Amino acid sequence: MQLFTGQRYIFLVLFCLWGGVGRAESPDAGGHWSVPGTVVDAKTKKPVAYASVLWGGGERWTATDESGKFLLKNIPAGEATLMVTCLGYAKRTIKAQVNAGMPALTVELPEDNLLLDEVIISARAGGDEASSSYVIDRTSLEHLQMLDVGDAMSLLPGGQTNQNIHLATSAAQYLAVRGASSEDGNPTFGTAVEVDGVRLSSNAAFNTSTASRIYGVDTRTVATTNVGSVEVLTGIPSVQYGDLSNGIVKINTVRGKSPLHVEASTRPHTKQAALRKGFALGREAGVLNAALEYTKSVSDLTSPYTSYSRNNISLRYSNIFNKQSGQPLMLETGITGTLGGYHSKGDPDAFVDTYTKERGNTLRGNVHLSWLSGLSWLTNLEGQLAVSYADNLQEKRTNKSSSAAIAAVHGQEEGYFVATRYDDNPAAAIVLIPPGYWYYTEFIDSKPLSLSANLKGSWVRSFGRLRNSVLAGADFTTTGNLGRGVYYGDLRYAPTGWRPYRFDEVPFMHNLAWYVEDKIQLPIGATHLQFTAGIRSDRTLVKASHYGSVSSLSPRFNARYTLVEQPEKTLRRLTLTVGYGKAVKLPSFEVLYPRPTYADRLAFAPGSMADGITFYAYHITPHTPDYDPNLRWQYSRQREVGVEARIRQVFLSLTFFHHQTVDPYRYVNEYTPFAYKLTGQEALEQSAIPSVDRIYAIDRETGIVTVTDKTGMHASETLACRELRTFKSSQTFTNGTSFVRRGVEGVADFGKISYLQTSVRLDGSYYHYRSTDETLVPSSPTSQYMANGNPYKYVGYYVGAAASSNGYETKKLNANLTLTTHIPAIRIIISLRLETTLHNYRQNLSEYSQEERGFAVANRSDDFPAADPSRYNSNRYVVVWPLYYTSYDDMETKIPFAEKFTWASAHKEQDPAAKALYNELAKLIERTNTDYYFNADKISSYYAINLSVTKELGDLASLSFSATNFTNNAQQVTSSARNAQLSLYGSSYIPKFYYSLSLKIKL
Amino acid sequence: MKTTFFRNIVEAWRAALFVGGCAFLLALAMTACEQDDDLKPVKTYDVTLQLGYPAGFAPVAGVPVTLKNTITGVVDSKSADADGLVTFTVIAGLYEATASEERSDTLYRYLLNGANSHIEVTDAGTNSAPVPLTLTLQAVPKPAEGDVSPHGKLIIKELYIGGCQKNDGSGAFIMDPYIVIYNNSTQPATINNLAVGGLFPSNAHGSNYFYSNGQLTYANEGWLPAHFGVWQIHQNDTLLPGEQIVVAINGAIDHTVIYSNSVNLANADYYVCYDVEKWNNANYYPAPSELIPTSHYLTAYKFPGATGNAWILSAIDPAAIIFTPGDGVTLSEFANVPENLVYHSANGAANSQVGLKVPTEWVLDGIEVYQAGNANNQKRLTPSVDVGYIEFTNNRGHTLYRNVDRAATEAIIANAGKLVYSYSLGVDGSTDPSGIDAEASIRNGAHIIYKETNNTTNDFHQRSRASLRN
């Protein structure tokens, strides 16, 4: 992978800056002092153990002991800002003057409950980081009553309520940051998801279908009741995060000492119960957090059998050793297991003994060590070992019957094969399934496993007013799949088309990465500059793949400049952020180890005998998707500019992003001329051999069928056949055309109107996606035949796709208004959230940078442009010609379509050959289905309102209720493309009306 | 010597006298007899013959009857009276009587022939009871008037599309549909080039994009939109009046081996839609029974752009037509002309929803099926082809069967006594108003004329089981 010139330059600057600063200054411990203190409960004044105390954004940290005491060492003299956090308590930030012999601090932590004035129930902009990010805390999540971690995304600016109201579908749930799952570039695949620092990876997941779409991880397996916070890094992430292209979602579970929490919740399709407790294991022995969750969704309330269940157990141990020394060592280790999945067994609506089960079992574990070294050249050292394993075994039992014999083609080798009874040869290329009734059980065994080891160190140093942090680290990740692939309980009835393909025989993919990042914080007068620059190198070792080892470099930069910081003025704070970064998404196994595909063509079909038996023969063509030596790793180039302002109590933030996806993975078909033989019953009509005495044999190479008489009475016969000339199609992965997503995310938080005890927040997002693909795509329409009925002999080469459009553009403007009434006195929060979509636009595109791609025609069946060939918003049908075509007889010569077709059209009346060519080439023309296909489709604005209430019943219990789309909006909206009226009721535009209720008790 | 001579002369004289005397006596005896006849008149007898007619045929006056004395060879002929009686006066003896009559109706010449070769007339046998002379019937279809009609009145007699329940209770089996095409005319009809098609939308209750303001947009354009492709017979066979062919739409095999509620379509006389080069989904198109000659395979014409690997006539509520292209037109050429194609494609449906504009003048017959109880059903056939519909319940083994034209059927003299009434196979409130059990009557040898009013409502009923299961 080559660096662009600009990237090289930036890397050089970064290196010099890091190295130069390191040589110019040396650590100076002279003005550093220890800060002693005690953390107590604000109400009871009892000491709070296991509270974290941090200084300098984590540069120095420790934790309280059993008596609530802490000692934070090596803090520079002067004013220091300390942050104290503890599970169950509100976070506190305190300022202290650090000097020699300073008195011990006493920090009172108030309990985290609705008695507090400051309660936020939406995503907070992620603090002081230069890149845009959002944090959703526990109170918000509880108020939201999250069922799937994806639900939390609705709290992001412009986010909208997840429309999946239950989990009981056979479809997975995906997260996509700044993207939609249907778009190019696989945004769900490019969105990284981490739970407690353990990356959930779908790189080694294999799709069960041969369709080569690649997706992200199924988030349904992640328990939601013990999630402490969700961080969404939407902007340019730190270089410590790799293998992503769309952002990262970090899910952190609750950690720390806590009483027993019992939680039960219900909503129409789902019941949920959970227990969690943080056990203090005794003096300096750490804390063990245990959590249990039971969640069960049913898909149909009237037939509550098809279900998805999630049974989660999580154990997390954490402890900080050596607290008093100033070199604390924090150990965090955890293991989380989930048992459950989709299950339709027992549904009386299904035929007896048929079912579909899909395991959603996962096991995740990690050991994380963080050491505050106290060394002059190393501030903090962290290391982690993590494992993530999923058991996604699907089991589907199906009832089948047939009055005709079925040829089940399983052969993996090329050639002609005749069907054979299973009892005669269980390993036959084609197994004859006789007529009858039977069951078969299909297993799709996918068990992706990911192991990773990370080590990173930071070095933080102040040089006068400049504060410099260097982060460097390395990751090693290995990913594979331990599943058997698709197999059957009894091969006797394995359906046609199945071929063994063991996932566990695909080699593991190893990725070795290193990264280095430097962060400078520099006060400049009253302003403050923060600059982060980093680079990440990924080296992927693709064993036994044509793609071998590949490397990539991802430079990333972020800057944050606080222009104004004046708490007493109207404009209290004004900050600008800017960022640029490159993120590389590693390819999935579907790309690296493409599965062979098979084309099975009927080659012999003798008449069925009285018992329904017939011995078909097929020609099998195996194909492994071609290796593309030019395949480049997909990456995204992200740019972001933001502004944040606080005007009195109003907080405003606006972030502009521009994400370019470069070299998105896509696949194309390629065609090779292919002729095969077909022998029909007509060849047997004159046979002297009675059908019951026939033994059919087909020559594997030539396809010639020979019939022999098992009684020996008659001589063998060779059957006449005919040859069919068609194409073999094969798939290959390649890189598509780069495209851009851009948008604006904004928040206006107007703060609390005290006399109404109500806060007002307006957030919104504008999202624009536009992609047109200009890959030259060959396509031979299987639905066309030559005029004489023979298979179609031409292949067209289209820009982007053999379709009317080669991309589309969407624009969406969402705006949400949230009114939150929080009355601490009665410990209640009532929130009303108006989710509106003010602009919802989609335009199908047909574009080519070299010339026009397609044109409008006057009449639907016309082949040539109308006087005004404008494609868009013309209320006319549009046709698209291929650029070139080739024919079966000469696949090498690409004939310009327009030239030849125009000639044939001009001469068709005089020249029969021209007319014939005209008729045949016309079949390569792609036409829109409707006259409004290229009309811009604007959906008129629409809304949904959600109401949520959380009420604490004393210190021990709280009750949350929410009604989603509680007005059950059945408004009509207008679709401009065809001026149609659509009802929102039951539509995909807004969520369905439903309610949910949950009760939480602390014991 | 002289004495012997004279003695011999005397002896010869005596002998001559003896012979002469005997001859005289004999002659005298014979003369006496004659003299006796001459004395009494010759005795004769009346023989009455009663023509016996087959059922359905009443006697008519004037039928010639011939009586022949097998001894004397004397032949006499008379005409029977309106009661079928004829009387001959004969002397005693052995006689043979024959009678012939020819009648006809619109469909047949009826040859009524009778013979009684042993009629004995004796003194003792004089009996006043009429001697039966039974006429046997031979019904001969009327010869063609000029050429064989291209397609006569070929009609859809039956459409079996709804499937039946499987034996194991796992639901319906629907891969056994068939259509019966019947010559309902008085003329033989060729089936060569006859094509079978279905119309868009496949289901009457599905979205019909050909409707605009409640009207079929093609209603007055002289065509019907056949969907995806059509099947055509290439077999120069002729159906006589009352003959039929069975066309298996999917699997021409014996489905009853596995599905006892299904039908046996493995029959050498049947036809089958089977063209694996165009539609090759083996679930739909198992290799036809080896009993069926490949000349009975229909050829598929898949319209340009049609996708899919099987041609489907809805198992719920199709509209089916039979038609034959106009003179000199081949379907492949006709379908290759873009102007002859039409797309069922509003609201984003794909161009693969391609249809052929089948001129209505090509159409021989059509049937419009609605799903029972579905309020969304919409008519697809235009009035020149059909104006009604028949409601249908699928998956129960039911079939759509044409009603009998009772008057026309009963008018066929030969049907007398062969028609079975008290038809009881109508189902779901639908039945054949004629009350005639057509299939039972056909098994009795009756020739059924079916209703043909271009109104499915009048012409069809829902029958509880396929006719091939009777």
pLDDT at residue B28 is higher than 70: no
In this prediction, residues B80-103 reach a mean pLDDT of: 87
Nearest CA in chain A to B309: A783
* pLDDT tens digits, A565-585: 888 889 999 999 999 998 887
pLDDT at A214: 63
pLDDT at B141: 64
What DSSP line would sit under A636-671, residue for residue? EEEEEEEEEEEETTEEEEEEEEEEEEES-EEEEEEE
Could you tell me the two tokens for B368? 């419009």
pLDDT at residue A181 is higher than 60: yes
Among A51, A81, A112, give the residue marking a domain's end.
Answer: A112
pLDDT at residue A782 is higher than 60: yes
Stretch 892-931 of chain A: residues touching chain B, C-beta under 8 Å: 919, 922-923, 927, 929-930
Identify whether the C-beta of residue A614 lies closer than 8 Å to the C-beta of residue A608. Answer: yes
pLDDT at B263: 97
What percent of chain B stands above pLDDT 90? 47
> A613: distance to nearest CA of chain B, Å?
9
pLDDT at A431: 96
pLDDT at residue A983 is higher than 70: yes
The residue with tokens 């982007």 is A800
pLDDT at A208: 55
Task: Pick the more confident residue, B148 or A969.
Answer: A969
Q: Determine the residue type at B49.
A: L
Question: Is residue A476 in a domain?
Answer: no
Q: Is B179 on the interface with A (CB under 8 A)?
A: no
Pairing status of strand A105-109 against strand A32-41: parallel
List Cβ neighbours of B32 (8 Å cut-off, separation of 6 or more): none
Rounded alpha-carbon distances, angstroms, from residue A784 to A801, A863, A922: 17, 17, 11
In this prediction, residues A8-20 reach a mean pLDDT of: 38
Q: Cβ separation of A399 and B288 shorter than 8 Å?
A: no
Report chain B residues whose CB lies below 8 A from the CB of A436: 258
**Least confident segment among A22-31, A274-283, A662-671, A898-907:** A22-31
Q: Do B119 and B158 belong together in one domain?
A: no
* pLDDT tens digits, A588-614: 777 777 778 899 999 999 999 988 899
Q: What is the rounded CA–CA span in Å between residue A677 and residue A830?
A: 74
In this prediction, residues A844-863 reach a mean pLDDT of: 89
Residue A194 confidence class, pLDDT cut points 50, 70, 90: very high
Q: Do B82 and B166 belong together in one domain?
A: no
**Least confident segment among A491-500, B201-210, B304-313:** B304-313
Report chain B residues whose CB lies below 8 A from the CB of A691: 290
Give Dmax (Cα) for chain B: 148
In this prediction, residues A827-846 reach a mean pLDDT of: 94
pLDDT at B260: 95
Residue B348 confidence class, pLDDT cut points 50, 70, 90: very low
pLDDT at residue A10 is higher than 50: no
Among A949, A968, A989, give the residue marking a domain's end.
Answer: A949
> Which CATH number goes with the domain that contains B56?
2.60.40.1120
Considering only CB atoms, B306 lies closest to which of A407, A783, A787, namely A783
Task: Pick the more confident residue, A586 or A26.
Answer: A586
Question: Is residue A876 in a domain?
Answer: yes
Identify whether the C-beta of residue A74 lies closer than 8 Å to the C-beta of residue A56. Answer: no
pLDDT at A183: 74
Q: Do B205 and B78 belong together in one domain?
A: no
Q: Determine the residue type at A449.
A: L
Question: Is residue A309 in a domain?
Answer: no
Identify whether the C-beta of residue B368 lies closer than 8 Å to the C-beta of residue B437. Answer: no
Question: Is residue A880 in a domain?
Answer: yes
HSE of B410, CA atoms in CB hemisphere, 13 A: 9
Q: Do B137 and B161 belong together in one domain?
A: no
pLDDT at B147: 40
Question: Is residue A567 in a domain?
Answer: no
**Least confident segment among A331-335, A432-436, A665-669, B272-276:** A665-669
Q: How many domains is chain B built from?
A: 2
* φ and ψ at residue B27, rounded to 5 degrees: -60, -35
Q: How many residues does chain A have?
A: 1003
Q: Do B163 and B248 belong together in one domain?
A: yes
B190: exposed, middle or buried (Cβ count in 10 Å: 0-12, 13-18, 19+): buried
CA-wise closest residue to A608 among B219, B270, B372, B209: B270
Mutate which: A608, A615, A918, A924, vs B, most B CBs within 10 A: A608
Owning domain of residue B48: 44-141
Nearest 5°: the CA angle A912, A916, A919 is 135
CA-wise closest residue to A663 among A742, A597, A582, A743: A582
Task: Pick the more confident residue, A999 or A302.
Answer: A999
pLDDT at residue A207 is higher than 80: no
pLDDT at B40: 58
CA-wise closest residue to A358 among A511, A221, A535: A221
SS3 A885: strand
* φ and ψ at residue A494, rounded to 5 degrees: -60, 130
Identify whether the C-beta of residue A210 lies closer than 8 Å to the C-beta of residue A164. Answer: no
Considering only CB atoms, B289 lies closest to which of A607, A684, A929, namely A607
* pLDDT tens digits, B40-57: 567 888 888 999 888 878
Report chain B residues whose CB lies below 8 A from the CB of A791: 277
Q: What is the rounded CA–CA span in Å between residue B13 and residue B7?
A: 10
Q: How many domains is chain A built from?
A: 2
ipTM: 0.76
pLDDT at A20: 35
Considering only CB atoms, B254 lies closest to which of A352, A610, A930, namely A610
Report chain A residues whose CB lies below 8 A from the CB of B262: 403
pLDDT at residue A191 is higher than 70: yes
In this prediction, residues B134-162 reach a mean pLDDT of: 71
* pLDDT tens digits, A794-816: 999 999 999 999 999 999 999 99
Q: Do B370 and B329 belong together in one domain?
A: yes
Q: Do B308 and B367 belong together in one domain?
A: yes
Q: Determine the residue type at B153.
A: K
**Least confident segment among A208-212, A309-313, A995-999:** A208-212
In this prediction, residues A276-280 reach a mean pLDDT of: 92
In this prediction, residues A547-556 reach a mean pLDDT of: 85
Q: Cβ separation of A861 and B339 shorter than 8 Å?
A: yes
What DSSP line would sit under A542-588, residue for residue? ETTSTT-EEEEEEEEEEEEEEEEE-TTSSEEEEEEEEEEEEEEPPPP
Report chain A residues whose CB lies below 8 A from the CB of B253: 403-404, 608, 612
Residue A633 confidence class, pLDDT cut points 50, 70, 90: confident
Identify whether the C-beta of residue A659 lies closer than 8 Å to the C-beta of residue A178. Answer: yes
Q: Is A606 on the interface with B (CB under 8 A)?
A: yes
Q: Do B350 and B224 belong together in one domain?
A: yes
Residue A215 confidence class, pLDDT cut points 50, 70, 90: confident
Could you tell me the two tokens for B44? 């004769």
SS3 A368: strand
| Max avg pLDDT among A119-128, A339-348, A984-993 | A984-993
Could you tell me the two tokens for B236? 């120069």
* pLDDT tens digits, A903-925: 999 999 999 999 889 989 998 99
Among B85, B120, B141, give the residue marking a domain's end.
Answer: B141
Considering only CB atoms, A724 lies closest to which of B251, B277, B293, namely B277
Task: Pick the more confident residue, A987 or B370.
Answer: B370
Report chain A residues whose CB lies below 8 A from the CB of B278: 785, 789
Owning domain of residue A61: 31-112
pLDDT at A652: 93
**Least confident segment among B14-23, B366-375, B413-422:** B14-23
Beta strands in B29-107 (DSSP E): 44-52, 64-69, 75-79, 85-91, 93-104
pLDDT at A216: 79
In this prediction, residues B167-193 reach a mean pLDDT of: 92
Task: Pick the more confident residue, B312 or B139.
Answer: B312
Q: Cβ separation of B287 and A685 shorter than 8 Å?
A: no
pLDDT at residue A988 is higher than 80: yes
Q: Do B198 and B344 belong together in one domain?
A: yes
Q: Is B230 on the interface with A (CB under 8 A)?
A: no
pLDDT at residue A737 is higher than 80: yes
In this prediction, residues B9-23 reach a mean pLDDT of: 64
Question: Is residue B179 in a domain?
Answer: yes
Q: Do B78 and B226 belong together in one domain?
A: no
Identify whether the C-beta of residue A504 lies closer than 8 Å to the C-beta of residue A456. Answer: no
pLDDT at residue B36 is higher than 90: no
Identify whether the C-beta of residue B332 lies closer than 8 Å to the C-beta of residue B263. Answer: no
Task: Pick the more confident residue, B161 or B114.
Answer: B161
In this prediction, residues A334-349 reach a mean pLDDT of: 83
pLDDT at A8: 41
Identify whether the C-beta of residue A548 lies closer than 8 Å to the C-beta of residue A542. Answer: yes
Q: Do B169 and B280 belong together in one domain?
A: yes
Considering only CB atoms, A403 lies closest to which of B257, B307, B339, namely B257
Crossing angle of the two packed helices A912-921 and A897-907, in degrees rounded to 10:
130
Task: Pick the more confident residue, A189 or A232.
Answer: A232
What DSSP line would sit under A207-219, residue for residue? -SSS--------G
CA A571 to chain centroid: 40
Question: Is residue B147 in a domain?
Answer: no
Nearest 5°: the CA angle B210, B215, B218 is 50
pLDDT at A27: 37
> Which CATH number goes with the domain that contains A90?
2.60.40.1120
Among A949, A980, A998, give the residue marking a domain's end.
Answer: A949
Nearest CA in chain A to B261: A403
In this prediction, residues B172-198 reach a mean pLDDT of: 93
Could you tell me the two tokens for B447? 């020739």
Q: Cβ separation of A787 and B290 shorter than 8 Å?
A: no
Residue B32 confidence class, pLDDT cut points 50, 70, 90: very low
Identify whether the C-beta of residue A737 lies closer than 8 Å to the C-beta of residue A802. Answer: no
Residue B126 confidence class, pLDDT cut points 50, 70, 90: low
Instruction: Compute the radius of gyration of chain A from its Cα atoms.
Output: 33
pLDDT at residue B21 is higher than 70: no
pLDDT at residue A130 is higher than 80: no
* φ and ψ at residue B439, rounded to 5 degrees: -65, -40
CA-wise closest residue to A674 among A624, A611, A625, A601: A601
Q: DSSP class of residue B255?
A: G
Residue B7 confidence class, pLDDT cut points 50, 70, 90: low
| Max avg pLDDT among A53-67, A232-246, B35-49, B155-169 | B155-169
In this prediction, residues A154-177 reach a mean pLDDT of: 84
* pLDDT tens digits, A743-773: 999 999 998 888 888 999 999 999 999 999 9
Task: Pick the more confident residue, A608 or B187.
Answer: A608
Stretch 965-994 of chain A: residues touching chain B, C-beta under 8 Å: 978
Could you tell me the two tokens for A774? 């200009």
pLDDT at residue B140 is higher than 70: no
Q: What is the rounded CA–CA span in Å between residue A67 and residue A106?
A: 12
pLDDT at residue A137 is higher than 90: no
pLDDT at residue A11 is higher than 50: no
Task: Pick the more confident residue, B330 or B358.
Answer: B358
pLDDT at residue A313 is higher than 60: yes
